[in-house]
Structure formats: C-alpha cells, structure tokens
C-alpha cells in the first residue's frame, strides 16, 4: 500500500530527524527562490512547491529520509512554457506530470534503475557535486572579502564542530554554521548578500486552486510535451538520488512506490500553485549528513519551510548567503566520490570512459537526464561488445572426411552475428554439416539472419545442413523469423 509506512520510519529517529529537517528547511529557501527565478515565476511558486512536495512525499514516498522539492533540473524545462503560455499552464503541466509519474509507478518503471551501471551512478554523483559547487560561484564572484571570510569560517564550523565533545554529535554542524554566521553578520553589521536579497518571501499560506485554462485537446497538446519531459527528468533524478541515499544509509527503497509518491506530490502541488519538483540530491545529502533518516525529517523540513517563510520571514531574510554557500560546499565535497580517482587505475578502461563521459555530458549540458542517457547507452554498447567477444565456435571433421560438426558456444545477437557467419568454411567439399547450438542462444533478428545466411550458403554449395540442440527460447524466435526452411528462401534472403 502506498500510504503504509513502518512506525520506525516516523518515530525511530525523532531528535535527529527534527534537527536535520530544520537544516534542510533553511537550505531549501534560497534554492527554491533561485529555481523560481530560473523558471521565470514568482518566488512563492517555488517555495509553495517545496513545502507541498516535501510534506506529501514524506507520507507517500518510497524512500524515508530523502528530500524532494522544487529543483533546478525541472525549472530549466519550464522556462519556455512559462514564457509562451503563462503561469496557469505551468500549474496544469505540473498536475499532468504527476499523473504520468503515477502511471510510471504502476508500470513498474522504477525497477529500470537496475539497468543503470555503477559507473553511470558514480559519474552522475561526481557531476552533480561539480554542478552544486559551480552553482555557488555567483555568490563568491565580485564580492567583498567579508564574504570569503564568512564562507571559510562557516566551513570551519561545519567540519570542526563535530569534534567538540558531547554536543558536537548532538547538534548538526550545518545548523550551527547558519545560526553563528547569521548572528555574527548582524552583530558586525556586515554589508553582504542575504536570503532577503534573493526575492520577496510570501506572506500567506497556499490555497487550493484549479488552473484557469481551457480544458480542450489543444491545451493538452501544448502541455503534454512539457509534462512528458518533466516526468522523465523528475523520475530519473529521483531514482538516482534514491540509489545514492540507499548507499549512504545502507538501506533499501521502493522505486515504484517513489514514482507514485512523486506523482501524488506533484498533483497536489499543481493545485496549490506550485511548480513540479523531484528529489534533491544536495538536500538529501544534507539531511543524511545531519542525522536525518526517517520520514519525519522530510515532513519537518517542509512544515518548517512554510512556517519560516510565512511567519518568520523577517528573521529568515537576515541569513547571510555565505552561510548557505558554506553548507552547499560541504554538500559538494561530501557528494563527490573521491575514491573514483584512485579507481581509475584499477577499473577497466570501459568503466572509466563511461564514468568520465557521464560527468562531462552532465557538466557541459547541465542536463542530468542527458548525461545518464549517454552513460547508459555507452554502458550498453561496451557490454554488448564484451558479450560478443565471448562467442566461440569449435569444429571437427569426421573420419571419412565427409561430415563436419560446428559447436557454437555463447550469445548470438546483433554484435556477434557477423563473427558467427564468418566462422564457417563454405568452400570445403563435404556432404554434411551439423551445427550444434546446445550451448548457444539466439536473441534477435540479426542472429536469425546470420543463421539463415550460413544455412543457405552451405545449401548453395550442395552441402546438407542439420541444426541440433536449439533451446526452446531460441527455437521460438528462429521458427518465427527464420526463412531458410521456406520454399522461396533464396528470394526472401535479399529482403531479410
């Protein structure tokens, strides 16, 4: 059941979840505002979305402790929609995105993560760490020395406070960093950029609304392409983040339930005047590093986010961006897989190429989906190449020199079909050829076509061909696609 959760997911880590949730809420505010600006909408759209998605996903999501909200990857896909059609169409697209994600969940597309190799995940993580760091650079460019000093001081607090006896392990150091730097900045009266400079915070709670758009087929044709793109990017980023949090916490999650949960969260968000969102690796890592493990941390982060921006906006506006930059740099450092440098000397060249290519594509395009797609495609090609090289064909000639047996070992598919066809000697003068495929498997049309080519060539030379040992699965595809047993096989071969 999608709403069924274990009690320990809510109450198994109350203190850690509350404190980490508070840290995440503070870190969400500037990001939600920034993502709203990217999408070309009012800051409250991103803030309402972050609240709604976080609270909803805490209840219906499949990964306890993972943070979902408005994200930059999703915001980038909304720019053209908002510019050309307006805010109401964005809300409708968000709702449709949720519907498509629920459908994906019931189609069990969450299990597709098993096809993403470890090298792609590593490349994704490293690229995301680089992007998180790069996103902080505008806050560190053309600023006074006070900003650099505050950021460095914040990083010092983050990494040294945990060494303080007793309280160092109780209070999350990122929270201490934010509180200390805010107090110091205001006490010294430093003229540095604050959260309040990012944009006006909302002063009212979100309300239920129905998008004011014409409910016609033309409207659906407008919003569907955007919703489809948001669905793919949202689920991809979410499932990748879930995999990373699984590794950090050494627990497992339900990808299909997460797809449905993200869908429900986006539907509710669309009706509350928010933009579509998904899991956030940066905030999820902050949550885990700060001690968050359960659903309570995500729920508390969403609730506190709304309370702070609506009722405590005066205080929140005073937080220096340098404090949040320090927290995000910590996330960047903690997210990057530093052992991947050492593994370059150990892992196969193909694995390293996939990892580095994923990093380069993501960083170059700022498109997480594109990077993962290229990584998965390269992994598949390298895998196909390796499997094709495992094909082996052994042969022996009978004592009378008239019968030759070919024994085929391995997988026959598009990458090994040519190798299979080239292994036979069609000019040898013999009366009978036996092809033993007991230890082989035919996978696709290319493999069947290669078999047809071999059989028909032997017959053209006047040699009788016998196939033996074919397994049931191979026989099914061969019987359906092969032409060598058909009366007009020679003519059909040209069209095969």
| Burial status of residue 165 (CB atoms within 10 A of its CB: 0-12, 13-18, 19 or more) | exposed
Average pLDDT over residues 234-240: 88
What contacts 466, CB < 8 A, 6 or more positions away? 432, 433, 434, 435
Confirm if 21 and 306 have CB atoms less than 8 A apart: no
**pLDDT band at 71, cuts 50/70/90?**
confident
User: What is the pLDDT of the chain when averaged over all its residues?
Assistant: 89
Q: Which CATH class is domain 392-493?
A: alpha beta
Report whether pLDDT(254) > 60: yes
Measure the CA–CA gap between 319 and 194, rounded to whole angstroms.
Answer: 5
- Looking from the CA of 308 toward its CB, the CA atoms found within 13 Å total 26
Distance in angstroms (rounded) separating the CA atoms of residues 385 and 356: 19
Q: How far apart are CA 470 and CA 454, in angstroms?
A: 16
pLDDT of residue 494: 53
Sequence ranges of the chain with CATH classification 3.30.750.24: 392-493
CB 271 within 8 A of CB 117: no
Instruction: Give the pLDDT band of residue 125 (cuts 50, 70, 90).
Output: confident
Positive or negative, the CA dihedral 309, 310, 312, 313 is positive
Closest CA to 26 of 296, 299, 319: 319
Q: Which residues of 189-308 form beta strands (DSSP E)?
A: 278-279
Q: Residue 142 is inside which H or E element, if any?
A: none
12: how many CB neighbours lie within 10 A of its CB? 15
Segment 228-255 shows an average pLDDT of 88
pLDDT at 3: 59
What confidence score (pLDDT) does residue 381 get? 92
pLDDT for the residue numbered 138: 87
**Residue 247, pLDDT score:** 87
pLDDT band at 50; cut points 50, 70, 90:
very high
Token pair listed for 227: 């919703």
In which band, very low, low, confident or very high, does the pLDDT at 6 lie, cut at 50, 70 and 90? confident
Q: What percent of the chain has pLDDT over 90?
A: 52
Question: Does pLDDT of 331 surpass 80?
Answer: no
Q: Residue 1: which pLDDT band, with cuts at 50, 70 and 90?
A: low
């Amino acid at each position: 059941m999608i709403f069924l959760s274990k009690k320990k997911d809510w109450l198994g880590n109350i203190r850690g979840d509350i404190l980490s949730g508070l840290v995440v809420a503070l870190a969400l505010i500037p990001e939600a505002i920034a993502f709203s600006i990217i999408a070309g909408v009012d800051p409250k759209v991103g803030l309402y979305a972050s609240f709604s998605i976080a609270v909803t996903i805490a209840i219906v999501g499949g990964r306890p402790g993972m943070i979902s909200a408005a994200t930059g990857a999703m915001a980038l896909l909304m720019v053209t929609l908002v510019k050309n059609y307006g805010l109401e169409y964005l809300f409708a697209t968000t709702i449709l995105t949720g519907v498509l994600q629920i459908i994906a969940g019931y189609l069990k597309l969450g299990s597709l993560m098993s096809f993403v190799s470890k090298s792609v995940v590593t490349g994704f993580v490293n690229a995301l760490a680089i992007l998180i760091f790069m996103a902080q650079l505008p806050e560190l460019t053309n600023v006074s020395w006070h900003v650099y000093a505050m950021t460095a001081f914040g990083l010092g607090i983050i990494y040294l406070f945990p060494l303080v006896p007793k309280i160092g392990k109780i209070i999350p150091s990122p929270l201490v960093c934010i509180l200390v730097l805010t107090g110091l900045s205001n006490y010294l009266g430093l003229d540095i950029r604050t959260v309040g400079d990012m944009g006006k915070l909302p002063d009212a709670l979100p309300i239920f609304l129905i998008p004011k758009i014409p409910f016609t087929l033309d409207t659906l044709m407008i919003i569907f392409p955007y919703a489809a793109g948001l669905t793919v990017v949202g689920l991809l980023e979410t499932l990748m983040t879930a995999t990373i949090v699984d590794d950090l916490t050494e627990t497992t999650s339900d990808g299909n339930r997460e797809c449905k949960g993200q869908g429900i969260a986006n539907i509710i968000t669309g009706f509350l005047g928010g933009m579509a969102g998904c899991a956030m690796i940066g905030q999820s890592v902050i949550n885990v590093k700060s001690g968050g493990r359960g659903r309570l941390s995500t729920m508390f982060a969403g609730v506190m986010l709304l309370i702070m921006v609506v009722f405590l906006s005066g205080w929140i506006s005073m937080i220096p961006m340098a404090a949040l930059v320090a927290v995000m740099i910590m996330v960047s450092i903690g997210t990057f897989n530093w052992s991947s440098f050492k593994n370059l000397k150990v892992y196969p060249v193909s694995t390293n190429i996939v990892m580095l290519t994923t990093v380069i594509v993501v960083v170059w395009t700022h498109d997480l989906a594109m990077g993962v797609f290229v990584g998965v495609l390269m992994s598949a090609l390298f895998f196909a190449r390796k499997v094709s090289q495992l094909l082996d064909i052994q042969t022996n000639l009978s004592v009378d020199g008239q019968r030759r047996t070919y024994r085929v070992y391995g997988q026959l598919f598009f990458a090994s079909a040519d190798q299979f066809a080239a292994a036979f000697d069609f000019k040898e003068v013999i009366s009978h050829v036996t092809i033993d495929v007991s230890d082989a498997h035919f996978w696709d049309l290319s493999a069947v076509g290669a078999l047809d080519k071999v059989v028909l060539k032997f017959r053209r030379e006047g040699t009788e061909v016998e196939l033996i040992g074919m397994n049931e699965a191979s026989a099914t595809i061969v019987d359906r696609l092969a032409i060598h047993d058909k009366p007009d096989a020679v003519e059909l071969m040209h069209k095969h």
